[in-house]
Amino acid sequence: MRGNFLSFVKKESLHILRDVRTMMIVLLIPVVLMILFGFAISTEVNNLNVAIVAPNRTEGVRQVVDRLANNPYFTVVGYDSSIDIDAALRSGKADAVVVFDEDFEHLITQRAEGIDTHPAIQFIFDASNTNIAQTGTAYLQNVVSADHLQQELLNLHLLYNPQMKSAYNFVPGIMGLIFILICAMMTSVSIVREKEMGTMEVLLVSPVRPIKIILAKMIPYFVISCINLATILLIARYLLDVPMSNGVWSIVIISVIYLLLSLALGLLISTIASSQVVALLISAMVMLLPMVMLSGMVFPIENLPTVLKPLPYIVPARWYTEANRKLMIMGLPLSAVMKEVAILIFMTFVLMGVSLKKFKDKLE
- The nearest distance, CB 206 to another protein, in angstroms, is 5
Among candidates 294, 266, 261, which has minimal Cα distance to 282?
Answer: 266
CA torsion sign, 353 to 348 to 260 to 283? positive
**What's the min distance (Å) between Cβ of 266 and another protein?**
20
Q: Does 15 bind another protein (CB under 8 A)?
A: yes
What would the 3-class secondary structure string for 170-234 be? HHHHHHHHHHHHHHHHHHHHHHHHHHHHCHHHHHHCCCCCHHHHHHHHHHHHHHHHHHHHHHHHH
Phi/psi of residue 96, nearest 5 degrees? -150, 150
Binding letters toward another protein, positions 176-215, x by CB under 8 A: ---------------------xxx-xxxxxxxx-------
Name the one range near another protein by CB under 8 A: 11-19, 53-61, 92-100, 137-145: 11-19
Task: List, in sequence order, the alpha helices (H) in the chain.
Answer: 2-18, 20-35, 59-70, 85-90, 104-112, 130-145, 166-179, 187-197, 199-204, 210-234, 249-272, 276-281, 289-294, 316-324, 338-358
Q: Which residues pair with 124 in a beta bridge?
A: 97
User: Least separation, in Å, of the C-beta of 163 and another protein?
Assistant: 49
Indicate the residue among 11 and 358 with the shorter CB distance to another protein. 11
Query: CA distances (Å), 159 to each of 97, 172, 254, 281, 364, in order?
Result: 30, 17, 24, 40, 56
Centre a 10 Å sphere on the Cβ of residue 258 and count the other Cβ atoms it contains.
Answer: 29
Answer for which of 4, 70, 274, 275 binds another protein (CB under 8 A) is 4
Cβ proximity to another protein, 16 vs 143, nearer residue? 16
Would you say 204 or 248 has its CB closer to another protein? Answer: 204
The C-alpha angle with vertex 101 and arms to 96 and 107, in degrees rounded to 5, equals 130
Q: Contact region for another protein (CB under 8 A) — 4-12, 124-132, 269-277, 351-359?
A: 4-12
Q: Which is nearer to another protein, 1 or 307 (CB)?
A: 1
Listing DSSP states for 332-362 in one string gives --GGGGHHHHHHHHHHHHHHHHHHHHH--SS
Q: Residues in contact with another protein, total (CB under 8 A)?
A: 24
Task: Compute the distance between CA of residue 123 and CA of residue 94 in angstroms, rounded to an integer.
Answer: 12
Q: How far apart are the first and last CA of the chain?
A: 28
Residue 272 beta carbon to another protein: minimum distance, rounded to whole angstroms: 19
Q: Which x/- pattern over 215-234 shows residues binding another protein (rule: CB under 8 A)?
A: --------------------
CB of 26 to another protein, least distance (A): 16
Q: Nearest approach, Cβ of 228 to another protein (angstroms)? A: 23
Residue nearer to another protein on the CB measure, 3 or 72? 3
Q: How far is CA 260 from CA 105, 179, 264, 311, in A?
A: 64, 10, 6, 22
Nearer to another protein, 2 or 118 (CB): 2
Nearer to another protein, 4 or 128 (CB): 4
Interactions with another protein, residue window 323-362 (CB under 8 A): 362
CB of 21 to another protein, least distance (A): 12
Which of the residues 264 through 293 are near another protein (CB under 8 A)? none
- Structural Rg of the chain based on CA atoms: 28
The residue (of 7 and 122) whose beta carbon lies closer to another protein is 7
**In terms of CB distance, is 113 or 361 closer to another protein?**
361
CA distance 116 to 266: 65
The residue among 15 and 57 lying less far from another protein, judged by its C-beta, is 15
* Residue 363 within binding range of another protein, rule CB under 8 A: yes
Footprint of another protein (CB under 8 A): 1, 3-4, 7-8, 11, 14-15, 18-19, 197-199, 201-208, 362-364
